[in-house]
Amino acid sequence: MSETASELAFKARELDAGDELAGVRARFVLDEAVYLDGNSLGALPAAVPGRVEDVVRRQWGELRIRSWEESGWWTAPERIGDRIAPLIGAATGQIVVGDSTSVNVFKALVGAVRLARLAGGEARDEIVVDATTFPTDGYIAGSAARMTGCALRPVTPAEVPGALGDRTAAVLLNHVDYRTGRLHDLPGLTAAVHAAGAIAVWDLCHSAGALPVGLDEHGVDLAVGCTYKYLNGGPGSPAYLYVRDELQDRFDSPLPGWNSHADPFGMRPDYTPAAGAPRGRVGTPDILSMLALEAALEVWDGVSIESVRTKSLALTDLFLECVAQYVPAGRVESLTPVPHAERGSQVALRCADAGQVMERLIEQGVVGDFRHPDVLRFGFTPLYVGFADVERAAGVLAGILRGGGG
């Protein structure tokens, strides 16, 4: 081991020794691999298997239909939403859990256009969308535009302020870019959207559970996000929809269902939306995955999102430092911004043969992921990733890129 490598390995051990979140790792089911793919699928919280067994065997198996009341199934969407709320800077009563992120993007975006038109008239006929967004968001924005008679205007986040005008109805943005890990300016962009009289919709998939969001503080109108990344809810776990409190009585969901009716068991032919966050519900909640998510969120007991952010930045700082020292010059290029204010909780490296490199990394116990055509993505979940993990991952990457065994 070179002197630089020895110094960085020592630095990693020192950081681990002072890590206030180190003990949280024991709340997860993990092996010896360095798991840096929590930005795609979070690790399994240890409490989940037992909770799911109870839901299946006792609540469903024994109580059966009684569990809607006796086990709290009926109130789960709002109860779990309130559990997520402090992680994204929201007061209780503004989040409902259920459906997929895609479905919630559709609800939020069509609802946003309707809100804008209530305030500003039919002249609001344009939806602005992040041109670099995750593809599904773009697909849904296009569908929402067709449905509402709006023009779709894709621009980069940096171009958003200049693209806004009196025709803008809604703006859909990602808080963190899924390819590069770039953190966008939620407070500044939300203020610009509001100054134009439009409604701001934020996709929090790559920020919730990794960094403070501040939905209430910054006046965000609507937000959506998944729960299977940094919130560790499990594959396909239900997403959530945030509707700011003062907009709830005007939020008109394009997917009204019996579960969001003011009198759900009245089975009336006419629709009257429920008050508050429940009007974001649609059909019968997906109870098994929802209650698995509820158990998963227990790993956050006693953990502040601010401490997670502090560790996230330290982890990504160390990884970038190790990559710069270990990896042969010119072999990779970081796409992730260096300034903390512009960085999420992942590092993206451009690499000519990224697909093959990631395969070899996984074979050697470092799990990240690959994005076409040439991006290695590494997600850092501070609840269970340590500093020695980071130094080891950079060393294995360097070994592969030197043509060795890591």
User: Is residue 125 a part of any domain in this protein?
Assistant: yes
Distance from the Cα of residue 157 to its chain's centroid: 18
- Burial of 52 (C-beta count, 10 Å sphere; 0-12/13-18/19+): middle
- Nearest CA to 172 out of 220, 206, 214, 215 is that of 220
Predicted confidence at residue 3, as pLDDT, reads: 65
pLDDT of 243-273, one tens digit each? 999 999 999 999 999 999 999 999 999 999 9
pLDDT of 99-155, one tens digit each? 999 999 999 999 999 999 999 888 999 999 999 999 999 999 999 999 999 999 999
Same domain, 69 and 179: yes
- Could you give the CA distance from residue 273 to residue 267 in angstroms, rounded to a whole number? 13
**331 CB-side CA count, 13 A:** 18
Provide Rg for the chain, Cα atoms.
22
pLDDT of 336-362, one tens digit each? 999 999 999 999 999 999 999 999 999
pLDDT of 304-333, one tens digit each? 999 999 999 999 999 999 999 999 999 999
Same domain, 138 and 170: yes
Percent above pLDDT 70 for the chain:
99
User: Is residue 37 a part of any domain in this protein?
Assistant: no
Backbone φ and ψ of 289, nearest 5°: -70, -30
Same domain, 309 and 287: no
Predicted confidence at residue 121, as pLDDT, reads: 83
Same domain, 252 and 380: no
Segment 83-100 mean pLDDT: 98
Same domain, 162 and 276: yes
Same domain, 61 and 200: yes
Same domain, 295 and 354: no
User: Is residue 40 a part of any domain in this protein?
Assistant: no
Kind and range of the H or E run holding 111: helix 101-120
**Number of domains within the chain:** 2
CATH number of the domain bearing residue 98:
3.40.640.10
Of 300, 331, 346, which marks where a domain is finished?
300
Predicted confidence at residue 1, as pLDDT, reads: 53
Angstrom CA distances, 150 to 112, 139, 140, 196, stand at: 12, 14, 13, 16
Distance from the Cα of residue 306 to its chain's centroid: 16
Of 278, 300, 322, which marks where a domain is finished?
300
Angstrom CA distances, 305 to 309, 312, 352, stand at: 6, 10, 35
Of 245, 280, 300, which marks where a domain is finished?
300
Same domain, 77 and 219: yes
Angle value at C-alpha 61, between 60 and 65, nearest 5 degrees: 45
CB of 96 within 8 A of CB of 77? Answer: yes
Kind and range of the H or E run holding 210: none
Same domain, 190 and 69: yes
User: Is residue 47 a part of any domain in this protein?
Assistant: no
Catalytic positions: 134, 203, 228-229, 377
Kind and range of the H or E run holding 379: strand 375-379
User: Is residue 38 a part of any domain in this protein?
Assistant: no
Banded model confidence at residue 239, pLDDT cuts 50, 70, 90: very high
User: Is residue 112 a part of any domain in this protein?
Assistant: yes
> Which comes out higher in pLDDT, residue 209 or 5?
209
CATH number of the domain bearing residue 355:
3.90.1150.10
pLDDT of 148-196, one tens digit each? 999 999 999 999 999 999 999 999 999 999 999 999 999 999 999 999 9
Same domain, 286 and 311: no
Q: Which long-range contacts (CB under 8 A, 24 or more apart) does 185-194 make?
A: 185/157, 186/213, 186/214, 186/218, 186/220, 187/214, 187/217, 187/218, 189/157, 189/160, 189/161, 190/218, 190/219, 190/220, 191/218, 191/219, 192/160, 192/161, 192/164, 193/160, 193/164, 193/168, 194/219
Helix and strand element counts for the chain (H, E): 12, 15
Indicate the DSSP class of residue 228: S
What is the pairing mode between strands 222-225 and 240-243?
Answer: antiparallel
Q: Crossing angle, helix 101-120 and helix 135-148, to 10 degrees?
A: 40
pLDDT above 70 (res 405): no
Predicted confidence at residue 122, as pLDDT, reads: 86
- Could you give the CA distance from residue 262 to residue 191 in angstroms, rounded to a whole number? 33
| Ranges of H-type helices in 121-241 | 135-148, 160-163, 186-195
Tokens 């068991």: give the residue: 265
Instruction: Please state the length of the chain.
Output: 406
Q: Which residues contact 392 (CB under 8 A, 6 or more apart)?
A: 34, 366
Predicted confidence at residue 120, as pLDDT, reads: 82
Predicted confidence at residue 188, as pLDDT, reads: 98
Predicted confidence at residue 406, as pLDDT, reads: 46
Same domain, 149 and 212: yes
* Residue 81: domain span: 52-300
User: Is residue 319 a part of any domain in this protein?
Assistant: yes
Predicted confidence at residue 371, as pLDDT, reads: 95
CB of 242 within 8 A of CB of 90? Answer: yes
Predicted confidence at residue 111, as pLDDT, reads: 98
Give the predicted TM-score (pTM) of the model: 0.97
- Could you give the CA distance from residue 271 to residue 276 in angstroms, rounded to a whole number? 15
Same domain, 194 and 242: yes
CB of 39 within 8 A of CB of 343? Answer: no
User: Is residue 406 a part of any domain in this protein?
Assistant: no
